[in-house]
Amino acid sequence: MSSQAKAKKRYFKTIPQIPRIELFAPGHGLCAGCTAGTIVRHLLKAAGPNTILVEATGCVEVSTTLYPYTSWRIPWLHLAFENASAAASGVEAAIKVLKRKGVLDPNKPINIVVLGGDGGTYDIGFQSLSGMLERGHNVMYVLYDNEAYMNTGIQRSGGTPKYAWTTTTPAGKVWPGNLRNKKPIAEIVAAHRIPYVATANPAYPLDMLNKFKRGLEVEGPSFVHVLQPCPTGWRFDPRYGIKIARLATETGMWINWELDHGEFDVTVPVKRRKPVREYLKMQGRFKHLTDEQIREIQRMVDEEVERINKMVGREVIGPVEA
Amino acid sequence: MSIQKEIKWKRLPLSTNYAVAYAVKDLDVDVVAAYPITPQTTVVEKISEFIANGELDAEMIHVESEHSALSATVGASAAGARAFTATASQGLELMHEILHIASGLRMPVVMSVATRALSAPISIWNDYSDLMNARDASWVTLIVASAQEAYDTIVQAYKIAESPDVMLPVMVAYDGYIMSHTYEPVLVPEDPSIVLEFAPKNYNRLRLDPDRPMTFGTIANPDWYYEFKYQQVVAMKNAYRKAIEVDKEFGKVFGRSYGILETCCLDDADVVVLTYGGLYGTFLEAIRKMRENGVKVGAARLRLWRPFPAEDVVRELGGAKMLVVVDRAISYGAQISGPVAMEVMNAFYGDPDAPSIMSVVVGIGQRTVTSYTVREIVDYAFRVLERGRVPRETLYWGVRGVKYE
Ligand SMILES: Cc1ncc(C[n+]2csc(CCOP(=O)(O)OP(=O)(O)O)c2C)c(N)n1
Ligand code: SF4
Ligand SMILES: [Mg+2]
């Protein structure tokens, strides 16, 4: 892609440029300090009112649609946990054919967005997601990743990081917490060779908004993977959600990148990394970690940073500060 | 109505699966999402052909599972499209979760089911275990007995599903293989516009519309959930009236109607055999022959399974001394394990003049049922009548090692 096209896709450069429209109504039942609300509010600002959102079962779904109330000022659909991508495929196909048949205005663009949690994406909804991507539906999938099944009470998912405490991976005499690494979901999605894949973080709202906008703009499927700190499940004071999100990027635990038509870039470079300990120590789910385990996580992050820097071809993420 | 005479018909040799596909085409269905499973597959193959040739303008979603097939169908319906899917057996089982969601969301989708036995052991052959497992999913369910009836019933199904006082999904079922893959002459209108005139689309129903944003698929706590579910009870009641009405109307326009409970030779019949699906043809043949020989036997076919037409069953069949209900599915562990037999007993419950009711299971995994089998069952029923002791358990007819004298 030309550098011009690249320059064009920075739609929001300053905070005042963020649309003022509020399509996510207040009064929802998310926990105090839940960053999912922040993500959804910004998502709808980027998408605007001509958007249909299909949601997988999970925290956001149950907290925003308790009958007879709703937080959604756009048309919204929920069927089940594992099939949001399939339902959205049906919505997209319907909009397409109804436009063709003149039932709907063919000149009025309608965004179709899926919103799913990590359990609904990495695990149970993975098959329907893969099907939707492979078939090329013009849908943007947004994954809000709080790294566990939160709605059912903090059980481990395929997105839970190594050594994290969850209610099904408690740290005990035998288990050190979760035994496995996070599944590289965004890269697995990218292997479907869809036009646009990105990772984002609500502590960097402009970057996140630009990615939503770009995801909606491309022809065909797009995927935006957003880190979503969860005070209830990660065991931290509700006021620290965005601080922890920022630390995730500052430590290199979470890298904001995008893959736009095959071109890879890190959109939030980090000159000097903070040690992972600073991210881990703020969360109760990691409080049982030994120094050795923390060193192991640091080594894993160092390796990942090296791999990413190689992919970009220069040092976009620097070394750990002394 | 005079339209009936004006319709020009094409007489085509069609399997029941193909007849369903022709109906889908003539109804100008907007979105089809389906996954292959024997013996349903040729429905979707034919529809694909129609779309590929430009005979039907629809979006085909080649989903990666039946779970997604029904999910996409419901999604399309929520967005306002007329949507269709088809399945059988394991596919219907995989859809099970979404069956309840389709009806709970009141989506007027239509699905054809070429009924088939369930694993394990795996069997691609016919019985009605799949359909009967979907009994409580709040789908209007019709079971047809010929390819022509399948075409006609798919047309009726959309009219029932989309009527504002019903708004429930509809299943149209028929015998896998025995009907899905056998060819019959079927009358199809040369100009399909008559079909759309009969079952016009309503794009004005509640749907996902950015100009009128609405939330579909909410969460309901104990203070509201029950009301949602009770509305389905009412909708099912309305569907009963609607099914009768639409079938009559269909008869006026197209010259064919079926009723919801077909009967034959009921006058002075001591024994009446009730069954469903294509097997009814075999029953009719046997029973007509027995009639010729002076046996006082009648036959009936249940066409509307859900909502169950209890009053019609009591009114039409209550005059017999014995009612033999022949099922092709087993509710394991139940004293009376034929699903339709249970329902018939329920319909007569507390009626002092009720006939004796005997439950018989046949054709499991497509164990052959011939007119000879029918004669055997009827003979046995008469012997039971003479002895005066009606079995309190289901009879498993035709299984190795079990004999009823
Ligand atoms: C088929 C099915 N299995 C299990 C559940 C129970 N369930 C509902 S929400 C949920 C957890 C959702 O986790 P995630 O997708 O990570 O979203 P979060 O709640 O964390 O936002 C589970 C397990 C369900 N609704 N459906
Ligand atoms: S459990 Fe976590 S993700 Fe769910 S609403 Fe609460 S803070 Fe948000
Ligand atoms: Mg989660």
Give the start-to-end residue ranges of the domains of chain A: 3-312
Mapping DSSP to helix (H, G, I), strand (E, B) and coil, where does residue B146 land?
coil
Locus of tokens 């990691």: A286
Q: Write out the residues of chain B at the interface with chain A, using a CB-CB cutoff of 8 A.
A: 30-31, 33, 57-59, 61-65, 67-69, 71-81, 83, 97-98, 101, 105, 203, 208-210, 212-221, 224
Strand A263-266 to A257-260 pairing: antiparallel
Asked if A128 lies within 8 A of B65 by C-beta distance, the reply is yes
Helix (H) or strand (E) run with residue A198 in it: strand A196-200
Chain A positions in Cβ-Cβ contact with residue B78 (cut-off 8 Å)? 77, 87, 90-91, 94
Check if the beta carbon of residue A146 is closer than 8 Å to that of residue A113.
Answer: no
Instruction: List, in order, residues 6 or more apart from B364 with CB less than 8 Å away.
Output: B117, B127, B129, B328, B329, B330, B399
Q: How many angstroms separate the alpha carbon of residue A119 from the centre of ligand 1?
A: 6
Q: Which atom of ligand 1 is nearest to the CA of B97?
A: 1
Nearest CA to ligand 1 atom 6: A152
Q: Which of B30, B56, B57, B71 to mutate to test the interface with A (most CBs of A within 10 A)?
A: B71
Q: How many CB pairs under 8 A join A and B?
A: 164
Report d(CA B375, CA B112) in Å as an integer: 31
Nearest CA to ligand 2 atom 3: A230
Chain B positions in Cβ-Cβ contact with residue A127 (cut-off 8 Å)? 64-65, 68
Instruction: Give the one of B30, B217, B218 whose C-beta lies nearest to A97's C-beta.
Output: B30
Long-range contacts of A185-193 (CB under 8 A, 24+ apart): A185/A118, A185/A121, A185/A122, A185/A143, A185/A158, A185/A159, A185/A225, A186/A223, A186/A225, A189/A129, A189/A133, A189/A141, A189/A223, A189/A225, A190/A223, A190/A259, A192/A130, A192/A133, A192/A134, A192/A221
Question: Smallest CA–CA separation between B9 and chain A, in Å?
Answer: 27
pLDDT at B5: 59
Chain B positions in Cβ-Cβ contact with residue A131 (cut-off 8 Å)? 63-65, 68
Residues of chain A where predicted confidence (pLDDT) is lower than 50 = 1-5, 7
- Decide whether any atom of ligand 2 lies within 6 Å of the A30 Cβ: yes
pLDDT at B405: 87
In A14-73, the residues whose Cβ lies within 8 Å of chain B are 49-52, 54-55, 61-62, 65-68, 70, 72-73
pLDDT at A1: 43
Put simply, whether A109 touches B (Cβ < 8 Å) is no
Asked if A83 lies within 8 A of B98 by C-beta distance, the reply is yes
Check if the beta carbon of residue A51 is closer than 8 Å to that of residue A110.
Answer: yes
Check if the beta carbon of residue A269 is closer than 8 Å to that of residue A223.
Answer: no
Strand partners, B58: none
pLDDT at A6: 52
Give me the CATH code for the A3-312 domain, please. Answer: 3.40.50.970
The mean pLDDT values, 10 residues at a time, for chain B of 405 residues are 72 98 98 98 98 98 98 98 98 98 98 98 98 98 98 98 98 98 98 97 94 98 98 98 98 97 97 98 97 98 98 98 98 98 98 97 98 98 95 97 93
Check if the beta carbon of residue A293 is closer than 8 Å to that of residue A247.
Answer: no
| Interface ipTM above 0.90 | yes
What are the structural domains, with CATH classification, of chain B? 3-254 (3.40.50.970), 261-396 (3.40.50.920)
CB atoms within 10 A of CB B116: 31
pLDDT at A10: 87
Asked if A97 lies within 8 A of B218 by C-beta distance, the reply is no
Locus of tokens 């047809």: B144
Mapping DSSP to helix (H, G, I), strand (E, B) and coil, where does residue A224 land?
strand
Check if the beta carbon of residue B178 is closer than 8 Å to that of residue B16.
Answer: no
Asked if A90 lies within 8 A of B75 by C-beta distance, the reply is yes
Asked if B214 lies within 8 A of A76 by C-beta distance, the reply is yes
Helix (H) or strand (E) run with residue A97 in it: helix A84-100
